[in-house]
Amino acid sequence: MATTLKLDDSDLNLGRVVAVRGSVVDIWFDENLPSINTLIHTGPDNAIAIEVLSQLDDNRIRGIALTPTQGLARGMQAQTNGGQLTVPVGKEIMGRMFDVFGNAIDHGDALPEMKRNSVHQLPPPLSKRSTKSEIFETGIKAIDVMVPLQHGGNAGLFGGAGVGKTVLLTEMIHNMVGYHQGISMFCGIGERCREGHELYHDMKKADVLKDMVMMFGQMNEPPGARFRVGHAALTMAEYFRDEEHRDVLLLVDNVFRFIQAGMEVSGLMGQMPSRLGYQPTLGTELSKFEERIANTTTGAITSIQAVYVPADDLTDPAAVHTFSHLSASITLSRKRAGEGLFPAIDLLQSSSKMATPGVIGERHYHLLQQIKQTLAQYEELKDIIAMLGLEQLSVKDRATVNRARRLERFFTQPFFTTEQFSGLKGKGVKLEDALNGCERILNDEFKDLPESAFYMIGTIEEAIEKAKKEQKKEENNTDADKKETAKV
């Protein structure tokens, strides 16, 4: 529910509702027409919140409801103090879960009176932005080695339904506390209530909730509310960056639903749709949101955004527009997920603008190129292997295939957040250890070890241990078989 206005009548600008069409409401004001983005309250107990989206003439505004409009009728009084949608900011919001209005929805203690900031903020000017390019370590081998993230940059997590976007995001929240003493801000746009509930309890169990703020706009909420959740979460993140001078990790799940909410709002407002039914203002709306995420001289907001790709089509306008704002794009592959290679990151499709010798260093850059070359050659050889078998390849090609298959398995990793499902203890791997492992695989140090030894491990030393255990197990099984045969 929206927060009810508690002001003297002298502070209020009064109007009346003249039309209600679902979430779209027209309101008449005799004078002082409210400006765009003004918040208006109306309905029984002033519980219905409406945001002004356009001024139709000298006396009428058209707004979109941020709450359900049941019970709203023509002729009802509407009132506004000229303010915009605001959310509370301050240290007291840590460890709490909020809705788009800044109301706590975690059944915790009541929040004290706090400073509130408007959700409509301008991006930081270029003069205040930091010019340094730094790597943001995540503890996930496939990301740190193949798709290095930028400190204060935007990374996109692209994938269809069910390939592991949310799992990867929750793992990053867990790792942030260990690697960066910053704050995690989780923003769920159009989330299922089950996902929000599970995430809250998982974070509580992992003891990272105290370093987090969560904001949710659920799937069943009106499009106006879902469209503003991202801006509300960003406003809270900006407070920690600009006022507390701390680094913030902003996780958005998911940007496609932000675009989808904008599309619904645009359709309700009667705007002519653009390509594939998207809103004509898609580029502008996304830019207003993405440009606020930045690395400034006081702190940084690093953003990792899940982007649902409709029908796995990367040419969809939602995916294309989002791509242009990103410093790194992590593409998740359904094929890899089907093979059980988790995280299911497509190592050849994913890319990062940080992957240059000047930023990540010569050694990392050359290793990255070698790995990509090896994996690309393996991809080309797959058809030949399928038709003729591995034996028909040259010795050189066979060595390439062996290296590529070991690298693919080395990039799998057990997650802390999936321990209860997989039964495998989670692992976080430092970048240096991950690079050493890749280098040693490329140098054919482990060509005699079985491929299975590299699957779901942390550092390369664990592969050696795993291979020894597997060998011992095989020897024991062989001895047992011999004894059985002898008895017969």
User: Which residues are annotated as catalytic?
Assistant: 165, 191-192
Considering just the CA atoms, what is the radius of gyration of the chain in Å?
Answer: 27
Phi and psi dihedrals of 376, rounded to 5? -65, -40
Return the residue matching tokens 């997650």: 415
Select from 90, 81, 97 the least CA-distant residue to 39: 81
Q: Tell me, rounded to whole angstroms, the distance of Cα 12 from its chain centroid.
A: 40
- CA 330, 333, 334, 340 torsion-angle sign: negative
Is 236:213 a contact under the CB 8 Å cutoff? yes
Q: What are the tokens at 253?
A: 């799940």
The span from the CA of 43 to the CA of 288, in Å, is: 31
Phi and psi dihedrals of 479, rounded to 5? -60, -40
Alpha helix locations (H) across 6-144?
A: 141
Neighbours of 127 (CB within 10 A): 7
Q: What are the tokens at 442?
A: 């490329």
Phi and psi dihedrals of 249, rounded to 5? -105, 115
